[in-house]
Amino acid sequence: MEKNQRRTFLKYSLAASMATLTCGACGSGDQSEEETVKVLTTDGQLVEVPKSNVKSAPCHGVSPSESRKGIPGKKFVMVVDLSRCRNARKCIESCEKYHEIPPDRPFIKVLKMQDNNESSPYWMPKKCFQCDNPPCVKVCPVGATYKRSDGIVLIDNIRCIGCRFCMSACPYSARVFNWGQPPEKDPECAYSPETSIPTKVGTVEKCDFCPDMLRQDKLPHCITACPNGAIYFGDKVADVISNGSEVLRFRETLKVKAGYRYLEELGTEPNVYYLPPVNRLFPFDETPQEGGI
């Protein structure tokens, strides 16, 4: 009876995120026949269980055909406050974790930028700009990458033929390619272009604005991961952006802080805006900085 009950608990509690977190601590000594994972139980023990026992986390990404439609009535925008970024790289880490991407091809980069020799360098977090005149979507021969009504550009890696024309076309180098075979794992959820999981060899990937989170009215992972609240995300239709703690009006913020879009002259009409790196919270420092304010 006791044992039985515990089993039920296990089934419930062995959630995906937990498994990865705890497994980071457990080392890799065991090589049993069946693949196992270490998980945290309800009674606080680290136990090792067959992978087949692990119940999956709820899936929010929708099917490839459904993912072409977009979330109705929304137009998503991102605003990056360059005065707040100190290259803490938490956005990159959280993105890697939730999209299960290896560190060698991140969706987000924090670039060291210097406009000219006299001006001070600054850090510029860069994701996909989800352009309204998207070069990548224009050139795709098979419609594997597409623009949705909510402004998000996604990739269907079941349709992608791996021609990499979109990578050549993108002036922001936002796209990465699965050059090799991704590590094999049993996917928790069915493939959805909204999560970009699981990855497939020979296809293109990029930052997707986490539509699976947006469907739950939650912010993308990189936004909430930033210790300095440097990245705001929101809905242009509702004229609002949030960095997880602070909620601002989108247009007013751009107006007051002289927001701009990177390489406006290319005519790609990005949906990612930048606030100039003035009155910075931190002095520029080359070494990666832990933590926030």
Partner 1 sequence: MIAYFRIFTLVIFIGMLIPVHYNAQDKLRPRLSFSYLKDGNAERYLKVKAIARIDRKSTPITRVPLKFYFIEISEENFLGTAETDMDGVAQLLLPDKFYDLSKGKTEFKFITVLEDQDNYRDVDSDITVYESALELDLTEEDGEKIVKARLFRIDSSSAKTPVEDAEVKILVARPFGPLPISEAGEVTDENGALSTVFPDDLPGDETGKVNIIASLEDSDEFGSVRTNQDIIWGLEAEFDDKTLKRSLWAAGANAPLGLLFFVNSLIIATWGIIFYIIYQIFLISKHK
Partner 2 sequence: MRSYQPDFYFLSKPMEKIESDLLQHIPHWRKRDKVWVAFLTVVIFIGIYAYYRQLRYGLVVTAMRDFTSWGIYISNFVFFVAISLVGSLVSSILRLSKAKWSIILSRISEIIALASIICASIIIIVDMGRPDRFLNVFIYGRIQSPIIWDVIIIATYFVISYLLLYISLIPDLALCRDKLHNVPKWQKAMYRILAVNWKGNAQQYKIIHRVTAILSLSVIPVAFAIHTVTSWLFSTTWRPGWDSTNLGPYFVSGALMAGAAVLIVGMYFIRNSLDLKEYISEKLFDNMGKLLVLLSLVYLYFNINEYLGPSFKMVGVEGEHITELFYGSYAWLYWLVQIFGLILPIVVLVFAKMRKPFPLLIVSVLVIIGAWLKRFLIVIPSLQHPYLPIQDVDDSYRHYYPTWEEWAITFASFAGVLLIITLLIRLIPVIPIWELKEEKEQKNIES
Stretch binding partner 2 (CB under 8 A), from 32-40, 54-62, 68-76, 109-117: 109-117
Query: Is-contact 169 134, C-beta < 8 A?
Result: no
Answer yes or no whether residue 256 interacts with partner 1 by CB under 8 A: no
Answer yes or no whether residue 30 interacts with partner 1 by CB under 8 A: no
Type of residue found at 104: D
**In whole angstroms, how far apart are CA 25 and each of 20, 31, 114, 187?**
9, 16, 39, 22
Count of residues interacting with partner 1 (CB under 8 A): 49
Scanning residues 40 to 59, which ones bind partner 2 (CB under 8 A)? Answer: none
The mark string for 185-214 relative to partner 2 (x by CB under 8 A, - otherwise) is ----------------xxxx----------
Answer yes or no whether residue 102 interacts with partner 2 by CB under 8 A: no
Unique residue bearing structure tokens 């979109």: 166
Answer yes or no whether residue 172 interacts with partner 2 by CB under 8 A: yes
Minimum gap (Å) between residue 251 Cβ and partner 1: 8
SS3 content of the chain, % helix, strand, coil (to 5): 25, 20, 60
Answer yes or no whether residue 134 interacts with partner 1 by CB under 8 A: yes
Q: CA Rg, the chain, in Å? A: 21
Stretch binding partner 2 (CB under 8 A), from 2-10, 39-47, 53-61, 164-172: 164-172
Contacts with 167 (C-beta within 8 Å, 6 or more apart), sequence order: 136, 173, 175, 177, 204
Answer yes or no whether residue 257 interacts with partner 1 by CB under 8 A: no
Type of residue found at 278: V
Scanning residues 60 to 79, which ones bind partner 1 (CB under 8 A)? Answer: 68, 70, 73-75
Helix (H, G, I), strand (E, B) or coil at 28: coil
Minimum gap (Å) between residue 185 Cβ and partner 1: 19
Answer yes or no whether residue 181 interacts with partner 2 by CB under 8 A: yes
Determine the Cα–Cα distance for residues 101 and 115; give it in Å rounded to an integer: 31
DSSP letter string, 29-61: ----SS-EEEEE-TTS-EEEEEGGGPPPPPP-P
Answer yes or no whether residue 143 interacts with partner 2 by CB under 8 A: yes
Minimum gap (Å) between residue 135 Cβ and partner 2: 5
Answer yes or no whether residue 25 interacts with partner 1 by CB under 8 A: yes
- The answer to whether the bond into 125 is cis (omega within 30° of 0) is no
